[in-house]
Amino acid sequence: MPASSRNFVGSGFGTIKLVSTIVLALLIQFWKLCTTAALVVFLIFWFEGGIVASITFFLAIFGLFYYVQDMLLYHPNQPPMSRLYVELPSTLGLPFENHFIRTQDGVMINAVYIPRLHPGAATLVFFHGNAGNIGNRLLNAYSLYNSCGFNILMVEYRGYGKSQGSPSEQGFYLDSQAAMDFLIKRPEINKSRIIVFGRSLGGGVAVQLLTEPYYSQYICALILENTFTSIQAIGGVIFKLDFLKFVPQFLIKNKFANSKKISSIRHPTLFISGLADNLIPPRMMEELYQLSGSSYKRMVPIQGGSHNDTWMCPGYFESIANFVHEVSVDF
């Protein structure tokens, strides 16, 4: 079979698997709720009439749409066992410290710190995507550690890996702040060389952190990889539902409105875009680049880079190392 045909078939099966997983999860999680709601609507219709029953029905639909968004966005159990087993850097021969950090709202999150042996090294705060755990990104961290010479702090969101709590947008923002508090308190960390990295959903966490005045003063640069403009926009693309862009904001539970925030960020910013990304269109990275308020920004298109594997492509680590070197020299 030609390579193009195999890619098309693989993409098709991937879409079918995603949709099937979502539908199955909805059926499992909400069949009791739907049955109860149907009974309530029937009773209201019986006692109060059709108008009140119709209003109740539509309110139930809106409520279901609002709360089901978490299931569609956060996937801490994929791949399977991701909440039970988190691989540690020792498997790759890296030094590390395993920490549990308390957030402002009292949730304990897991973070793994991989230190360099020489003082003054730049520190990379790593925010991953919406599935799996920090252990799934160890090979990426290993290469960043060796190719770019970073200390690396890998942050596990609430509800993921060994962290407590449940995933939420505001919760993730608190997790990122707790990670920064952890670094700021460490005397060996060079506070003028903290770099925030966000991939995919992690880009939304990183962008928000750069808008926080207290924390942004300690950050020297931002790196975004294969990140979307907003959840509302990417939702319309993934599910091919153009009408989603007309849905009122109050019905969107998780916004991650990166396109609205990026213009306020003045820090040096590197945009890394995998041109073979079939999940988040590269045009969204281009849009973020154009909207960025930074006077020192770089766009690096990576040929053949898919959504999760851009870091494995030629030129990836060189681009990051060169950017950080430029930032260190010029700023």
Backbone angles phi, psi at 166, to 5 degrees: -125, 145
For residues 54 and 229, which has the higher predicted lDDT (pLDDT)? 229
Evaluate if residue 106 carries a pLDDT over 50: yes
pLDDT at 275: 98
pLDDT at 54: 56
What 3-state class would DSSP assign to 276?
coil
What's the CA gap between 56 and 246, in Å, rounded?
Answer: 23
CB of 79 closer than 8 Å to CB of 132: yes
Where does the pLDDT of residue 2 fall: very low under 50, low under 70, confident under 90, or very high at 90 and above?
very low
pLDDT at 13: 46
- pLDDT, tens digit (0-9, with 9 covering 90-100), for 178-198: 999 999 999 999 999 999 999
**Host H or E run for residue 194:** strand 194-199
pLDDT at 190: 95
Peptide bond into 79 cis (omega under 30): yes
Tell me the pTM. 0.84
CB of 204 closer than 8 Å to CB of 133: no
Domain boundaries, the chain: 3-73, 89-330
Q: Which of 7-11, 59-63, 94-98, 321-325 has the lowest mean pLDDT?
A: 7-11
- pLDDT, tens digit (0-9, with 9 covering 90-100), for 131-162: 999 999 999 999 999 999 999 999 999 999 99
CA 128 to chain centre: 5
Pair type for strands 269-274 and 219-225: parallel
Sheet holding 194-199, edge to edge: 97-102, 108-114, 151-155, 123-127, 194-199, 219-225, 269-274, 297-302
Evaluate if residue 274 carries a pLDDT over 80: yes
Evaluate if residue 168 carries a pLDDT over 90: yes
**Residue 183 structure tokens:** 């670094």
Give the angle subtended at the CA of 78 by the CAs of 306 and 9, to the nearest 5°: 45
| Mean of per-residue pLDDT scores for the chain | 86
Instruction: Count, in order, helices (H) and strands (E) of the chain.
Output: 10, 8
Instruction: For the chain, give the percent of residues with pLDDT over 70.
Output: 79
- CA 178 → CA 124, 171, 243, 261, distances in Å? 15, 11, 37, 21
What's the CA gap between 284 and 297, in Å, rounded?
Answer: 16
Where does the pLDDT of residue 51 fall: very low under 50, low under 70, confident under 90, or very high at 90 and above?
low
Tell which CATH classification among 3.40.50.1820, 3.40.50.2000, 1.10.760.10, 3.40.50.280 matches the domain 89-330: 3.40.50.1820
Task: Provide mean pLDDT across the span 302-308.
Answer: 96
- pLDDT, tens digit (0-9, with 9 covering 90-100), for 205-255: 999 999 999 999 999 999 999 999 999 999 888 888 777 777 888 888 999
Where does the pLDDT of residue 120 fall: very low under 50, low under 70, confident under 90, or very high at 90 and above?
confident
Evaluate if residue 11 carries a pLDDT over 50: no
Task: Provide mean pLDDT across the span 105-109.
Answer: 98
What 3-state class would DSSP assign to 165?
coil
Task: Provide mean pLDDT across the span 123-135.
Answer: 97
CB of 220 closer than 8 Å to CB of 192: yes
**Host H or E run for residue 269:** strand 269-274
Evaluate if residue 48 carries a pLDDT over 90: no
Evaluate if residue 14 carries a pLDDT over 70: no
What's the CA gap between 129 and 106, in Å, rounded?
Answer: 23
Q: Where are the alpha helices (DSSP H) in 123-261?
A: 138-148, 169-184, 201-210, 213-216, 231-238, 258-261
- pLDDT, tens digit (0-9, with 9 covering 90-100), for 61-93: 555 556 778 888 999 999 999 999 999 999 999
C-alpha closest to that of 294 among 272, 270, 269, 326: 269
Catalytic residues: 200, 277, 307
pLDDT at 287: 98
C-alpha closest to that of 131 among 308, 273, 312, 313: 308
